[in-house]
Chains A and B, each alone.
Chain A
Amino acid sequence: MNDFSELENELRKLRPARPSPVLFQRIGEALENYRAGASPAGQPGRLLYTWWSLGFGLAAAAILVVFAVINFQSTHERREAIAASSAPQPETRTLPRGMEQSTSPGRFVSAGGAHVVYNARDEGLHFANGSERPVRRVRYQTEQTWRWRNPETGASLRVSYPSEEIMLIPVSGQ
């Protein structure tokens, strides 16, 4: 086939140096250790290391989730407290008792109210109950509005009702 066949034959006659008998013994021991699972660099060791890593990772993730839930709950409670404390105080104090009971106390917080006088009519001087001193009677027509808000869902509730007040103002003689 080629011009090198004779040279190739000569090369093949060269015999490489043989390995020492110790090498067989060392390889046998290494394979035996591997079979016994004592090889620190073997696959079982790597597998064990992988499972440990996975376990630690899952534990860390679980701890993070627990902290996140606790933090979310405390933030939510703080928001409710802030919403409740930031509501207008006069309106809260003047909230009718029956109205507080009619709403969901744990969910809705007062968000203020309004008292609007949309009509005032002077009804002239009167003598009330046979009194000798005259009084001026003024009739006020108003509308009162109360609002509640659920900070968790953002829902709001508003109640409005009309009212009429009559004020008797004493008139002093001049």
Chain B
Amino acid sequence: MEPIASHENWKNCFSEVAPGLLLFARQWVHSAADAEDVVQEAFVKFWRRNHNIDNRALLYSAVRSIALDFVRRDIRRARRETTVFSEVEPAIEPHFELEDDTQSALAAAVDCLPCDQREVLVLKIWNDLTFSEIAGTLGISQNTAASRYRYALSNLKKSLQPQ
């Protein structure tokens, strides 16, 4: 039986995906409040259309699309997506619940990744999407998604190595 979205179990589903969704939305918006607005709009839209909850790529695509629209409205310029990526300022509020300095350094290194690598990393590590789902979400090929993931890990490893 396919787990179709219904109005009865939305809390369970949302509880599972909410942290990852928020982290994904934080790639583009500056504050946690803005990220929650984006996630709310995307999840409600996804849920009320009774999409299959297994179709996570659609949900993340909705988050990404709404977040980019949010950024365009916010900066009052409609430019190409890549331009939007480059104009996003570093977030001030923490994205993670940090426990020690090691995690702080790791989180800081993640924040310093190029946007295209970071979004693949976020989808893969904290949202458990497959490369196929990531490709569907971002509109890229699986090979591109996999290579961006590898580049992200490689860059992280380099930045964490002692000088």
Contact = CB atoms under 8 A, between A and B. Distances in A.
B11 A24 contact: yes
Interface of chain A: mostly helix, strand, loop or mixed: helix
Given A7-B153, A23-B39, A27-B14, A35 B20 contact: no
Interface of chain B: mostly helix, strand, loop or mixed: helix
B114 interface: no
Interface string A9-30: 0111111111110111011101
A42 B45 CA distance: 9
B67 interface: no
A17 B23 contact: yes
Given A7-B157, A11-B121, A11-B125, A18 B44 contact: no
Contacts of A23: 18, 36, 39-40
B42 to A, nearest CB: 10
Nearest to A34: B48
A42 B19 contact: no
Interface stretch (B80-88, B93-101, B133-141): B93-101
Contacts of A30: 40, 44
B40 A27 contact: yes
Given A11-B106, A42-B48, A17 B94 contact: yes
Given A8-B153, A11-B125, A17-B23, A35 B40 contact: no
B107 interface: yes
Given A14-B98, A20-B32, A20-B36, 13 more contacts: A7-B157, A7-B160, A10-B102, A14-B103, A14-B110, A17-B32, A17-B94, A18-B18, A19-B36, A23-B39, A28-B10, A30-B44, A31-B48
10 contacts: A12-B125, A13-B103, A15-B97, A17-B23, A17-B32, A17-B96, A19-B18, A19-B19, A31-B7, A31-B47
Interface of A: 2-4, 7-8, 10-20, 22-24, 26-28, 30-31, 34-35, 42-43
